[in-house]
Amino acid sequence: MRRRNYILVVETDDLIRELLERWLGEAGYAVVAAGDQPPEGSARLVIADVPTPRGAGARIASLQAAYQAPLLILSARFRRSRGASAAAAQQLGVQGVLPKPFTRAELLAAVSEMIEDA
C-alpha cells in the first residue's frame, strides 16, 4: 500500500493510540500506527509519546533519523502553558510538545499548526 502524507503515531498505550487514530482520522488525516508496517511514502508528521522528557533523547534521535518529518512529542510530564511547551520543544530539539491530558481540539490545533509550518 502506498500512502503519501500520513501521520505516524508512536504510542505504547493502546487506548490513547486508538483515540489519536480516531480523532485524526475523523479530521481527515491518513494515520499509521507505529506497530503497523509504515507504508511507502513520507510521513507528514510523527506524533510520539515519551514517558519522561529527560530520558527521551535516544528515542527522539531515532525517530528523527528514521523520519524526515516534524516531531510532536506527547507526555504527561510537560507543564501546561504555551511558554513552557515552546521551551520544552526547543530543549528537546523537536518542533512541538503537547502535555497530557489534552482535548481533541488541542490535538487538532497542534497538528494543524505543525503541518502548516512544515
* CA atoms within 13 A of residue 76's CA, in its CB half-sphere: 5
Region 29-44: mean pLDDT is 75
pLDDT tens per residue across span 54-69: 788 888 888 888 888 9
For the chain, percent of residues with pLDDT exceeding 70: 82
For the chain, percent of residues with pLDDT exceeding 90: 34
We find that the CATH architecture of domain 6-117 is 3-Layer(aba) Sandwich (3.40)
Nearest by Cα to 111 from 35, 12, 1, 9: 9
The pLDDT of residue 82 is: 59
**Angle at CA 75, nearest 5°, toward 70 and 78?**
100
- What's the pTM? 0.84
Nearest by Cα to 115 from 33, 12, 30, 15: 30
Chain position carrying cell 488525516? 29
pLDDT class of 106 with cuts at 50, 70, 90: very high
Maximum Cα–Cα distance across the chain: 40
